[in-house]
Structure 1
């Protein structure tokens, strides 16, 4: 996903964001059914679950259903999930594996180093009796600091300090690669201040029930935290956030890498956005040494600062108290955890059941000691040959991309040369970091869950803040090895594939190569194409945000992108709810390009020999089915409504049906003809990469 609201809009990942699994309250910790954790279950006998197809529907009518319909009819979303499908099933395996690792570490009294820290953090979370006995007491020191604030300057400093722990700010801050000078770090400051998933939740009448529930939730947490006048303060807090929502950029606007790179001298911030004490804010974040920042949504800054300046100090303090309790709630007693679950997962995403505590504990360790856990995970579950296989697959897909660039009819020779240069400079990371992160300076205690999480946040922020004057660490990873995902970084011009993704449904070493190319090949191609999507194309081979296109080529690219956007916008996912093509454009282009590259790479792998036919299915048909199998799944309606306004990925059916109908080989493989719902005339098929 293209996360422009992180620092530099530099990362595009494969998957959509899901509600945090650290949020639900405790449930019965029944052990998962015994299974072999060393390998993922296979899909069918040759890599594809043919029993999940719906043979009553033709590929030309509804390809997503043709490939997955019977599976979807039988699928029930587990009670503790907002969605479920092939990705989620693999995520369950990864969770079980991580549990095995942390259980072993937690049970080892002789553990040292990273293993000892993993075990201690997990034990502190699993000591439910102690956490419940403490109630709200762990919040006391943080809330006392908020109460002691005398004025808006003090509050601005506290907002800066939230970078190191619990709580929020009306402006975000991060240290990340400078998009226009990617060998150096820069301080990025962005709009913030909203407690619901998107500005639409405050401004669109269809989300009025969620907004009312949010106000009740704010009052509930303030009550649990012992903050005065919870009802009145909740009303004032939601009113303040609504004003911020009105002046905030949309998520689609925040995707634009050019518009979000706005450098300012720190001394000029007060002129840009008077009413907010920027020096106090940066001092609170331990960034006093910064002389320059990049203001992402710069035109929103003066408006947010004005809202801050006119909001009563007592309301700002109540907001700080609420956001602190909200973020700390998963690590407090059950009444806090239950309140947070009821709103953030049950109300916003439709999740009816609570998640087992062990899953939340595993997620906590992964989030705070990710590379310590990852090192143990890789030792247990990622064989060296898996990395070699992935390297070969990436090589195949890069070759296919080079060939496609060479053959483009709409792109001029000068732009082609730059595109090929960028492709040649792609860096690839597979499995795990070459050098593991050192957590030895981080103190983890068996009996201090709240303190552990705060210290881990402060440790991570110190790592970020201290690197401001250092060269960019090109070896850094933004995902942990057990993550079922992948990403492209524009500032590093790299594609990254964590260890956990190289297994079914993505890759089956014993399966049909066509299915593997449609699965993991499509994933690799997706990440490669992110380097050439509507935002990735703006960065060159060295990761620098710069225009390397001729004006004519850029116009032709945009014309095809607009055609693709109209196809997505035409899909009604729920009654009255459609895909926003401006928000999803990068992922849509990457899906189309990724599948084309997968098909080309499969053809190259045949070395001129005919593809075998399996169960009556041709090679090309199986590549498309491999892609469709990866995306099979269901979503709860409330969660679907949330992602349609907040996530840059289209829903699963669109990720399958829209790309395939733009590919000539799909029409040929399945005999799709005029009059079929999946048919698109050749002149209307989108041809980008």
Structure 2
């Protein structure tokens, strides 16, 4: 029964119903539709994902402006694999370089700031800056005053035999006034600077030296503060107390570098003068004579403009240029000083007085550095004692035989420096002099600035702290600074990674080099103290404008001089910027171990937060990497890296020299002795580091953009942006420039980078795809 029962089926289960017959195919159709929909949906999602990850055209206004800039400066028909310089720079006209164009744009921005109608608090630095700028533009008032204000200055200095009454000459009184009131040094330079201590001094020696030096320099440091300083040093650098290792290790110190603490110990320094005439050692005699004649003509013009008798003026002008020529013969080139190991000497003012008695050293220096209390036993730094001895002897000879000519020599020099503040005849004479000297020396022609640009320069020089705040607020927003710092961090990380893989650097040196990069300070935009309006508001209390523009100009000179001196006298001063915030020069300071990037440099076409990353890394990133590599310049010099593989290092250096020598230069000449290995090595290494940082950024952060309608993918745009940094007209290469010619600064690094040939599909044997490459950095 059970078995039979289990074998029976209900009637409805034995035959399929009509509902079951149509449900099966319907279910199959529905499954197919769902699968198709899922597939289509996934495809759409993947399409948008890959589209968002791939390069998109940047439609921001900054990108459109950059696109026009690139189109205007480059020649797209030039062969990329043999003449990338022409491809990027051939049509760059009207400016010597991209940097020059950016510098002019920054000055134009400053001009717009100074000409914008604003209301400032009475007596504030902003009000005085704006008043000074507009008084500089008031050429009608300057022309109406004529030479009267200048004659008044000359009378205050004791008069001038050829244009005013004078009775007797007090040489040191005139020199003292020139140094203290006019910031003019006709026979030598006196300034405050960091003490030039030996770079490899062990800390224990440094402490002993510090204790003795504090007794000499007029910078009192409380005993408790000094005790804390010594305690801090012993905690931070215990291994350096007895052995001289640590951050001052000779492996990585440069001859000019000192420990940051040393930079706060500043003393009076006496150095060679900066001559107004561009004479040079070993100059061709014919060029030398032409320069002397040109400058003599200029001095004759100055004397005549001041009402002097032409024959008397000619005699005084001739003896003035003769004095300059003799002083120039006393100079010793820096290379000779280094060979003789006499870069500087420590002497007291009393000792200097005995060796160079013509100058009343104590009174002249005390008048110049009024914030200090000097004494005859004060120790100062002298950079060329032989020059000072010879200079003193010449002055004594002139005082005994031609004292009135010596007065003329000092007045001639002062009038030249005051030219920007004088009426048009003096300015035109100076302009003509500069043009002729540029032609004779082969220096690049300086663009003819308008009166507005000249006034912007002078206002910026005298009111830099105030204008720094206004410029940064206008051109370097917090978001821009943040983006620039992110870029710098990527570049620095890439350098640290690269240091670990250098075949010629031993492990210990690699570790110290990485620590050196990690300890580096970076300053961007403007000095931190300058951005505090409370600190800058009192800096111009002693600036008095009027009654004429020359007096306003001189008040600005004195205020600037006092501000610079005061900054050196601070017990632990901040890093003193060597460029203005609107400047376009980045630099590395060995003494403070800080790298500086002014706001004026981190601007289009080198940097903008809205730019494709390829542009920022290729342009600004390579600039940053280049300055970082200057930390290690000394490692490339013979004997400065004892733990390194000397043969490997020399092999890579020779490789780089041969690599550059193979390139033809403008006019069919070949590259020769003016090539600087350090500069070229920095160019090549900077490109490699910037590319490595860019590739890493792309790996972890998708969504790259490119410039529309430029026919360059992101990697190609990176190299195009790098080349833009090097753009310069070939005819403007300065004969004194230590950099490689502009074509080499483009082709040398690009040809040493395999990725360039890959992304531009260069054939084997092309100029920018050589068979061998070098890896110095």
TM bracket, shorter-chain basis: 0.7 to 0.9
1:513-552 map, 5 Å: 513-534=613-634, 549-550=641-642
Equivalence for 1:90? 102
Equivalence for 2:38? none
Match of 1:126 among 113, 121, 137: 137
Q: Which runs of 5+ in 1 are unaligned?
A: 1-37, 78-82, 539-546
Query: Could you say if the C-alpha distance between residues 111 and 682 of structure 1 is closer, same or farther in structure 2, counting changes exceeding 3 Å?
Result: farther
The 8 Å contact of residues 169 and 404 in structure 2, kept in 1 or not, is answered as no
In the TM superposition, what whole-angstrom CA distance separates every residue of 1:139-161 from its partner, at most 9, and x where no partner exists? 22432315477365445535533
Query: Could you say if the C-alpha distance between residues 119 and 174 of structure 1 is closer, same or farther in structure 2, counting changes exceeding 3 Å?
Result: same
Asked whether 1:600 is paired with 2:692, we answer yes
Query: Could you say if the C-alpha distance between residues 657 and 281 of structure 1 is closer, same or farther in structure 2, counting changes exceeding 3 Å?
Result: farther
The 8 Å contact of residues 346 and 380 in structure 2, kept in 1 or not, is answered as yes
| More divergent stretch after superposition (564-573 vs 495-504) | 564-573
Per-residue deviation, 1:393: 0.9
Query: Could you say if the C-alpha distance between residues 665 and 575 of structure 1 is closer, same or farther in structure 2, counting changes exceeding 3 Å?
Result: closer
The 8 Å contact of residues 584 and 600 in structure 2, kept in 1 or not, is answered as yes
The 8 Å contact of residues 504 and 644 in structure 2, kept in 1 or not, is answered as no
Per-residue deviation, 1:334: 0.4
Match of 1:626 among 721, 731, 734: 721
1:243-642 map, 5 Å: 243-250=326-333, 260=343, 262-270=345-353, 276-286=359-369, 289=374, 291-297=378-384, 300-311=387-398, 312-345=402-435, 347-348=437-438, 354-436=448-530, 437=536, 438-445=538-545, 447-467=547-567, 469-534=569-634, 549-550=641-642, 581=674, 587-607=679-699, 617=712, 619-634=714-729, 640=733
Query: Could you say if the C-alpha distance between residues 101 and 461 of structure 1 is closer, same or farther in structure 2, counting changes exceeding 3 Å?
Result: same
**RMSD over aligned Cα atoms:** 4.0
Per-residue deviation, 1:269: 3.2
| More divergent stretch after superposition (124-133 vs 352-361) | 352-361
Other structure's SS at 2:596 match: strand
Q: Provide the rounded CA distance (Å) in 1 between the counterparts of 2:558 and 2:705.
A: 56
TM-score, structure 1 length as denominator? 0.78
| More divergent stretch after superposition (444-453 vs 300-309) | 300-309
Instruction: Report the count of equivalent residues.
Output: 623
Other structure's SS at 2:185 match: coil
Other structure's SS at 1:509 match: coil
Per-residue deviation, 1:508: 3.1
Equivalence for 2:112? 100
Q: Provide the rounded CA distance (Å) in 2 between the counterparts of 1:100 and 1:231.
A: 44
TM-score, structure 2 length as denominator? 0.70
Query: Could you say if the C-alpha distance between residues 394 and 197 of structure 1 is closer, same or farther in structure 2, counting changes exceeding 3 Å?
Result: farther
Asked whether 1:140 is paired with 2:161, we answer no
Per-residue deviation, 1:522: 1.2
Query: Could you say if the C-alpha distance between residues 116 and 468 of structure 1 is closer, same or farther in structure 2, counting changes exceeding 3 Å?
Result: closer
Equivalence for 1:175? 192
Structure with higher Rg: it is 2
Per-residue deviation, 1:232: 2.3
Per-residue deviation, 1:500: 2.4
Query: Could you say if the C-alpha distance between residues 351 and 183 of structure 1 is closer, same or farther in structure 2, counting changes exceeding 3 Å?
Result: closer
Query: Could you say if the C-alpha distance between residues 579 and 241 of structure 1 is closer, same or farther in structure 2, counting changes exceeding 3 Å?
Result: farther
Q: Provide the rounded CA distance (Å) in 1 between the counterparts of 2:194 and 2:483.
A: 31
Per-residue deviation, 1:635: 6.7
Per-residue deviation, 1:57: 3.7
The 8 Å contact of residues 426 and 493 in structure 1, kept in 2 or not, is answered as yes
Q: Provide the rounded CA distance (Å) in 2 between the counterparts of 1:39 and 1:409.
A: 45
Other structure's SS at 1:294 match: strand
Query: Could you say if the C-alpha distance between residues 405 and 294 of structure 1 is closer, same or farther in structure 2, counting changes exceeding 3 Å?
Result: farther
Query: Could you say if the C-alpha distance between residues 568 and 416 of structure 1 is closer, same or farther in structure 2, counting changes exceeding 3 Å?
Result: same
Other structure's SS at 1:496 match: strand
Other structure's SS at 1:604 match: helix
More helix by share: 2
In the TM superposition, what whole-angstrom CA distance separates every residue of 1:619-652 from its partner, at most 9, and x where no partner exists? 4443222121123233765xx4xx322x444553
Q: Provide the rounded CA distance (Å) in 1 between the counterparts of 2:664 and 2:358.
A: 44
